[in-house]
Amino acid sequence: MTKPTPNLSPLRAQFPALQETDAQGQPFVYFDGPGGTQVPQTVLDSMTGYLTQANANKGGQFITSRRSDEIITEARQAMADFLNAASPQEIVFGANMTTLTYNLSRSIGRTLHPGDEIVVTRLDHDANISPWLALEEQGAKVKWADFDIEDCRLNLEHLASLIGPKTKLVAAAYASNAVGTINPIPRIAALARQVGAWLWVDAVHYAPHGPIDVQALGCDFLVCSAYKFFGPHIGVLWGRLELLQALQPYQVRPANPNPPYKFETGTANHEGIAGTLAAVNYLAELGRRYGEAFAAETAAYTGRRQALKQAMRAIMAYERPLLIYLLTELQTIPGLTIYGITEPALLAERCPTVAFTKTGYTPRQIAAHLGQRGIFVWDGNYLALSVTERLGLEGSGGMVRVGLVHYNTLAEVDRLLAALREL
């Protein structure tokens, strides 16, 4: 039986940015979500509330410090619920995914020996490539897994051929931020486990679109960013507790030597952590309000965890028809080339992110044309340099990227299509 498509459009009222209009009185259209989503009012209120009522460093013997500690503790539990982590001790907060990956990669580098191998993929954002390339300075060897340029799906056979006895870590994206491809993380985890390697997953792009269960995925580390799932600019790392305990961080001498604190160098972005808590709670409330049709699929979870899984199922059900409509209509525009999966039977392997080019126009020209009409999209390589290089597009300006999230509507997609047809 097909699950009903929930109507999430009433949630738009909770996002102040979505109420802004251009000089003609038309609302701005935010298709720039892959670079950062807008935030609901509850996130703004939580951050303001922290700064006015709990703005103090942690560990103090006074009320604002205690409030700060309580907010951070609750936020850590909220992210553990969001990712289905076994313990909030497995949740590390940081400036962003890139900084967290560089930080932990240095600690992982301490465990490597000359000749040890790391496998990365050409489908990834460079934040899941460059930190591992940096370990070549210590004698590690980095191998590159390719993807098929026809549909931008990861070549699993090629990936498997690169993993062997010397492999110590495999780095892969849950979903490509450039072309939307969703990778089969459990299968990649199984390949890594066969040789005793760790799997590092970049879930930044996938996080606003579907449920994440680190225990079911079988990975060892997973990173995401709250500003991609309706929160503030802050990064989050999950790691298996035994690995976080074993790895040696780079930290100041008086710092807490236990996880997760030993990887949180300096004073954290406390107001950002408060906003992250609010973003998770926003999604949980979405699940309670719209996710009843998906309760059976999330029966293994309880409380906030169940609400969050229901929320992400509801979001998937809402976004999928929008994606299908967008892809179908884009393919009717002359001279327009879509990169990534377009075959209907395979769309479960694609996030609602669409990258394209159009004959006769550079991606920058198209983005500017749309921006003048109040429609916000990205152009370029989105720091997924290996993708545009592999597709032969880096020298010509990359691609135009349209990202749908659950606050986007069919009417907004129609505005985009009409503006593109003007070209």
CATH of residue 355's domain is 3.90.1150.10
Instruction: Quote the number of domains for the chain.
Output: 2
Q: Is residue 86 part of a domain?
A: yes
Q: Which are the contacts of 29, defined by CB distance < 8 A and separation ≥ 6?
A: 374, 375, 376, 408, 412, 415, 416
Please state, in angstroms and rounded to a whole number, the distance separating the CA atoms of residues 84 and 44. Answer: 25
Measured in residues, the chain has a length of: 423
pLDDT of residue 87: 98
Per-residue pLDDT averaged across 121-137, rounded?
Answer: 98
Residue ranges making up the domain that contains 219: 44-280
Give the position of tokens 């991609």.
228
- Among candidate residues 87, 243, 262, the one with its CA nearest the CA of residue 168: 243
Q: Are residues 354 and 328 in the same domain?
A: yes
- Among candidate residues 324, 294, 331, the one with its CA nearest the CA of residue 311: 294
167-173 and 198-202 strand pairing:
parallel
Q: Is residue 380 part of a domain?
A: yes
Q: Are residues 401 and 324 in the same domain?
A: yes
pLDDT of residue 402: 98
Tell me the pTM: 0.97
Structure tokens at 376: 């916000």
235-239 and 221-225 strand pairing:
antiparallel
Is the pLDDT assigned to residue 270 strictly greater than 90?
Answer: yes
* Encoded amino acid at 207, one letter: A
**What string of H, E and C letters represents the secondary structure of 4-54?**
CCCCCHHHHHHCHHHHCECCCCCECEECEHHHCCCCCHHHHHHHHHHHHHC
Q: Are residues 149 and 244 in the same domain?
A: yes
Q: Are residues 65 and 82 in the same domain?
A: yes
Q: Is residue 108 part of a domain?
A: yes
Average pLDDT of every residue of the chain: 97
pLDDT digits (tens, 9 = 90+) for 317-339: 999 999 999 999 999 999 999 99
Is the pLDDT assigned to residue 2 strictly greater than 90?
Answer: no
Q: Are residues 99 and 223 in the same domain?
A: yes
Q: Is residue 286 part of a domain?
A: no
pLDDT of residue 24: 87
pLDDT digits (tens, 9 = 90+) for 365-401: 999 999 999 999 999 999 999 999 999 999 999 999 9
pLDDT of residue 227: 98
Q: Are residues 313 and 222 in the same domain?
A: no
pLDDT digits (tens, 9 = 90+) for 139-153: 999 999 999 999 999
pLDDT of residue 253: 94
Residue 73 CB coordination number (10 Å): 14
pLDDT digits (tens, 9 = 90+) for 209-228: 999 999 999 999 999 999 99
**What string of H, E and C letters represents the secondary structure of the chain?**
CCCCCCCCHHHHHHCHHHHCECCCCCECEECEHHHCCCCCHHHHHHHHHHHHHCCCCCCCCCHHHHHHHHHHHHHHHHHHHHHCCCCHHHEEEECCHHHHHHHHHHHHHCCCCCCCEEEEECCCCHHHCHHHHHHHHHCCEEEEECEECCCCEECHHHHHHHCCCCEEEEEEECECCCCCEECCHHHHHHHHHHCCCEEEEECCCCCCCCCCCHHHHCCCEEEEEHHHCCCCCCEEEEECHHHHHHCCCCCCCCCCCCCCHHHCCCCCCHHHHHHHHHHHHHHHHHHHHHCHHHCHHHCCCCHHHHHHHHHHHHHHHHHHHHHHHHHHHHCCCCCEEEECCCCHHHHHHECCEEEEEECCECHHHHHHHHHHCCEECEEECCCCHHHHHHCCCHHHCCEEEEECCCCCCHHHHHHHHHHHHCC
Q: Are residues 75 and 133 in the same domain?
A: yes
Is the pLDDT assigned to residue 155 strictly greater than 80?
Answer: yes
pLDDT of residue 5: 87
pLDDT of residue 333: 98
Q: Percent of the chain beyond pLDDT 70?
A: 100
Q: Are residues 265 and 330 in the same domain?
A: no
pLDDT of residue 1: 44
Q: Are residues 249 and 315 in the same domain?
A: no
pLDDT of residue 91: 98
Per-residue pLDDT averaged across 44-52, rounded?
Answer: 98
Structure tokens at 251: 């930290």
- Among candidate residues 128, 96, 144, the one with its CA nearest the CA of residue 269: 96
Q: Are residues 407 and 360 in the same domain?
A: yes
